[in-house]
Amino acid sequence: MDLDEFVDGLDYPMYVVTTALGDERSGCLVGFGTQVSIDPARFLVCISQANHTHALVLEADHVAVHLLRADQHDVAELFGGETGDDVDKFEHCAWSPGPQGVPVLDDCARVLVGHVIERHDLGDHTGLLLEPVAQEAREGEPGLTFQQVEHIDPGHDA
Ligand SMILES: Cc1cc2nc3c(=O)[nH]c(=O)nc-3n(C[C@H](O)[C@H](O)[C@H](O)COP(=O)(O)O)c2cc1C
């Protein structure tokens, strides 16, 4: 049985999750993300096993989780509608090396850099349990949600 009836019409924040391994960088648009513990603080992001980003997050120690402003549809299209198998997304956006060398987008509302302390096979996604190591709130409020980007054709089949 699927979950379509239960989740139909729901709205929730969208994230861009980025990481680096050696000289390689990758990142994708993610809807499956949430805080899962208060003390200790823990955040979970789930990466599709089909994605280019998946191979990197299996080995990378750190990832950056970005919240986007409502006007950042172009960033959502880049990270959700293109795949690193075909394009280097980091040639099409401004970014800087952050803590532990993880690529951090210059333009976003908030960013969390997390240490990957556990990985869980959740089905067709891998859950990354993150311990926060840095966070920053920038100009503007996070506002990009699932309902605003649902139309994007994913760069990778789920
Ligand atoms: C609305 C929407 C929600 C998505 N949610 C997730 C998600 O939670 N986890 C994930 O790994 N991919 C998710 N994707 C798919 C990836 O962002 C997309 O396939 C991307 O192109 C993969 O890039 P990559 O192959 O470079 O990693 C979502 C895509 C869209 C449009």
Task: Identify whether 155 is part of a domain.
Answer: no
Domain of 49, CATH number, reads 2.30.110.10
Nearest residue by C-alpha to atom 1 in ligand 1: 150
Residue 81 CA, closest ligand 1 atom number: 21
Per-residue pLDDT band for 156 (boundaries 50, 70, 90) equals confident
Task: Identify whether 133 is part of a domain.
Answer: yes
Task: Identify whether 102 is part of a domain.
Answer: yes
Task: Identify whether 5 is part of a domain.
Answer: no
Pocket of ligand 1 (CB under 6 A): 26, 28-32, 46-48, 51-53, 80, 82-85, 146, 149-150, 152, 154-156
- Bridge partners for 28 per DSSP: 17
Q: How many Cβ atoms are within 10 Å of 104's Cβ, its own excluded?
A: 18
pLDDT per residue as tens digits for the range 12-36: 999 999 999 999 999 999 999 999 9
Task: Identify whether 153 is part of a domain.
Answer: no
pLDDT per residue as tens digits for the range 56-72: 999 999 999 999 999 99
Nearest residue by C-alpha to atom 7 in ligand 1: 30
Query: Is pLDDT above 70 for 158?
Result: no
43 is in which domain, residue-wise?
Answer: 13-147
How many structural domains is the chain composed of? Answer: 1
Nearest residue by C-alpha to atom 21 in ligand 1: 155
Task: Identify whether 55 is part of a domain.
Answer: yes
β-sheet with 62-67: strand ranges across: 24-30, 15-21, 62-67, 110-121, 125-137, 42-48, 33-37
For the chain, how far is it from start to end, CA to CA, in angstroms? 17
Q: What integer is the mean pLDDT of 109-130?
A: 98
User: What pLDDT was estimated at residue 146?
Assistant: 98
Task: Identify whether 108 is part of a domain.
Answer: yes
